[in-house]
Amino acid sequence: MMPDEVKKYWDDSNAESMYDKNLVEIESDAILEHLKESDRVIDIGCGEGESTIKYLKKVKELIALDYSMTRLEKLKDKNDQIITLQMDMRELSFDTIKKKFTKAITQRSLINLNNFDEQKAVIKGIHSILVDDGKYIMLEGFTEGVETINKIRSYFKLQAIEVKWHNLFLNKKELLEHIRPYFRLEYTRDFSLYFFITRVFNAILKSPEIPNWNDPVNNLAKTMEISYKNDFIRGISRLELLVFKKC
C-alpha cells in the first residue's frame, strides 16, 4: 500500500468505511460493554464516527482522533460538540498529546496502516497514553478468520471475499507475541455467528446474487449475534474484539 493513496481514499467524502451497517452496530454494541461512565476515552482512527457518537454518550470524556479532516467533518456533522484531533496515529504518544486515558479504542483502524512495523509502533504509542491499568480495546481484522471463511465458501463454490486493497489484516499469533510486553489479554470475542449466517449460509441461499447488508436474514443474524454473544461457534469471523490491560 502507498500511504498517500490510502489517505486520498479516506479523504474522499464518498468513501464508505463499512457498507455493512449491521456489523457496525454489532461492533459498537460489543465495545460499549467495556466502557464505563467514569472513563476518559480516545477513539483512534474514528473515521466519520458512526460508533464514536455512541461511546461519547456513555463515558465521561472522549477525544476522536483521525488523520482525515474529511472524516472528522463528517463526524462533526453528527455531533458538533465532540472533541476531535486531526493527527496521524503513527505520531501518537504521550509526548505528542500530553494526556492520559483510561481506555483507548481502535476499531478497524490499525488495518489501514501499511505494514506490521507501523501497527506495532501505534500499539506502543497507545501504551504510552494509557493510565496504569488502563485498557486497550482493539477491534480489528485478522487473517485467520478471512482464511477460514474463504475455505468454507470454497466448499460451496462461492467466490473468496478478498481483503480490500487499503487494508492490512493482522496475524493474531504474531500480534499476541508482540504485544505481550505491553499488555495482558483479558477478553476476546469474535462475531462468527453473524459472519457464518451472512457470508456463508445466506450467501448460499442467494447465490449467484450477493445479499444486501440489510437482507432480512442478515438482519436476523445481527439480532442473534447481539442477543446471544455466542460462544458455540468461533473462528469464522473476519473481525475480532480483544481487550488488553496495560502491564
CB 108 within 8 A of CB 141: yes
**Domain interval for residue 38:** 3-143+164-191+235-246
What's the total number of domains in the chain? 1
Q: Is residue 158 part of a domain?
A: no
Q: Is residue 28 part of a domain?
A: yes
User: H helices of the chain, where?
Assistant: 3-11, 21-32, 52-58, 69-78, 94-97, 116-129, 143-155, 172-179, 192-196, 202-206, 216-228
Q: Work out the burial of residue 43: count CB atoms within 10 Å of its CB; fewer than 13 is exposed, 13-18 middle, 19 or more buried.
A: buried
Quote the CA–CA distance of 42 and 100 in Å, as a whole number. Answer: 9
Q: Is residue 228 part of a domain?
A: no
CB 103 within 8 A of CB 97: no
Phi, psi angles (nearest 5°) of residue 81: -95, -10
State residue 10's pLDDT score: 85
Q: Is residue 216 part of a domain?
A: no
Q: Which residue in the block uniquely carries the three cell numbers 476518559?
A: 40
Binned average pLDDT, 10 residues per bin, the chain of 247 residues: 73 86 97 98 96 97 96 94 96 96 98 96 98 98 98 97 96 97 97 97 96 97 92 92 98
Cα dihedral: 176, 16, 84, 93 (round 10):
30
CB 236 within 8 A of CB 196: yes
8 Cβ neighbours under 8 A, 6+ residues apart: none
Q: Work out the burial of residue 194: count CB atoms within 10 Å of its CB; fewer than 13 is exposed, 13-18 middle, 19 or more buried.
A: buried
| SS3 state of residue 114 | coil
Q: Is residue 72 part of a domain?
A: yes
CB 41 within 8 A of CB 31: no
Q: Is residue 108 part of a domain?
A: yes
Other CB atoms within 10 Å distance of the CB of residue 212: 11
Q: Which residue in the block uniquely carries the three cell numbers 478468520?
A: 145
Of 180, 186, 168, 67, whose CA–CA distance to 124 is shortest?
A: 180
State residue 3's pLDDT score: 59
Q: CATH number of the domain at 168, please.
A: 3.40.50.150
Q: Is residue 22 part of a domain?
A: yes
State residue 229's pLDDT score: 84
State residue 14's pLDDT score: 84
What predicted TM-score, i.e. pTM, was given to this entire model? 0.96
CB 40 within 8 A of CB 60: yes
Q: Is residue 132 part of a domain?
A: yes
* DSSP result, 5-63: HHHHHHHSTT--S-S-HHHHHHHHHHHHTT--TT-EEEEET-TT-TTHHHHHHHSSEEE
State residue 231's pLDDT score: 74
State residue 1's pLDDT score: 53
